[in-house]
Amino acid sequence: MRYPIHMFTHAITRKPSEEMVNGLTTAGLGKPDFRLALAQHDAYCRALADLGLDVTVLDAEPGYPDACFVEDTAVVCGEVAVLTPLGAPSRQGEQETIEPVLARHKPVVRIELPATLEGGDVLLVDKTFFVGLSDRTNRAGAEALSAAVGEHGYSVVTMPCCETLHFKTDVNYIGNNTLLVSPLFSDAVELARFDRVVVEDDEAYARNCLYVNGTVIVPSGFPRTLAKVRELGQPVVELDMSEFRKLDGGLTCLSLRF
Ligand code: CIR
């Protein structure tokens, strides 16, 4: 069976700042090289543009070392953009400069503290939002998202999450009804409708692939995952993400897509 491709037309990204070297991390891979990160960010924005997206690149945000990970600041669907209070205290406020940009495209609904929700914990497939309840996203955040999108025909499925930072560190949609998942989610009943490709822990970072308009963007350096994704027959683009990986950031984190 062929599954319809949801086409994105826009993306928002934000340049990293030199302060990124002080970003939150559990990776233990050392400090990122700012110049190299800028070059990788440029390549990322170019890749999205090559896939047909109109990419708005925002200037770096002083005072917020993690602000290039814009995915966490909002959840966007066809009808509405939901602005989210981030769960990490040092990141609260990043969403304020995203709001006017989103407002050019969609009505914006704001979720307020004490609800917390980070976009990295939210996976949208068709009309379902899968939300991982993590250290960053609480039940009140998931309920507030449900209230904001329910009237547009979306449902919200919450799932316990994770040994890792975000739900999408573990689970990502790569088209054709297929998910890349960690072993933790290989049998999750909430995901039973999907074909699942398990990515083992030695390539854990590559679980965070980014599916854009029929192409799968894969982080470079993970040959087994690359081979598995290639086997599925969709076009693949590889991008070097080494400097963002040092801050626990993956491919989905660097953009909001809609
Ligand atoms: C953080 O810990 O918040 C950042 N260093 C990484 C955020 C990654 N974002 C994402 O996975 N959506």
Residue with tokens 């919450």: 158
What is the rounded CA–CA span in Å between residue 87 and residue 56? 25
What is the rounded CA–CA span in Å between residue 131 and residue 134? 9
The domain of 160 spans: 10-165+240-257
Written as tens digits, the pLDDT of the chain (258 aa) is 668 788 999 999 999 999 999 999 999 999 999 999 999 999 999 999 999 999 999 999 999 999 999 999 999 999 999 999 999 999 999 999 999 999 999 999 999 999 999 999 999 999 999 999 999 999 999 999 999 999 999 999 999 987 789 999 999 999 999 999 999 999 999 999 999 999 999 999 999 999 999 999 999 999 999 999 999 999 999 999 999 999 999 999 999 999
- Indicate whether 170 belongs to any domain: no
From residue 131, alpha-carbon distances to 134, 168, 205, 209, 223 in Å are 9, 9, 19, 17, 29
- Indicate whether 197 belongs to any domain: no
Q: Is 209 a catalytic residue?
A: no
User: What is the CB < 6 Å shell around ligand 1?
Assistant: 23-25, 66, 69, 71-72, 88, 91, 119-120, 165-166, 168, 247-250, 252-253
Task: Identify which of 12, 71, 43 has the alpha carbon closest to the alpha carbon of residue 243.
Answer: 43
Q: Is 68 a catalytic residue?
A: no
The gap from C-alpha 228 to its chain's centroid, in whole angstroms, comes to: 21
- Tens of pLDDT, residues 135-179: 999 999 999 999 999 999 999 999 998 778 999 999 999 999 999
- Indicate whether 216 belongs to any domain: no
Choose the residue to mutate in 14, 22, 41, 66 for probing ligand 1, maximizing ligand atoms within 8 Å of C-beta. 66
Contact 141, 95 (CB under 8 A): no
Tell me how many domains the chain contains: 1
Which token pair is 228? 């598995």
Q: pTM (2 decimals)?
A: 0.97
Q: How far is the CA of 129 from the centre of ligand 1 (A)?
A: 19
Choose the residue to mutate in 94, 135, 165, 172 for probing ligand 1, maximizing ligand atoms within 8 Å of C-beta. 165
- Indicate whether 208 belongs to any domain: no
- Domain harbouring 102, CATH code: 3.75.10.10
- Indicate whether 31 belongs to any domain: yes
- Indicate whether 195 belongs to any domain: no
Q: Which atom of ligand 1 is nearest to the CA of 120?
A: 12
- Indicate whether 3 belongs to any domain: no
The gap from C-alpha 173 to its chain's centroid, in whole angstroms, comes to: 11
Contact 102, 83 (CB under 8 A): yes
Q: How far is the CA of 5 from the centre of ligand 1 (A)?
A: 27
- Indicate whether 80 belongs to any domain: yes
pLDDT number for residue 1:
67
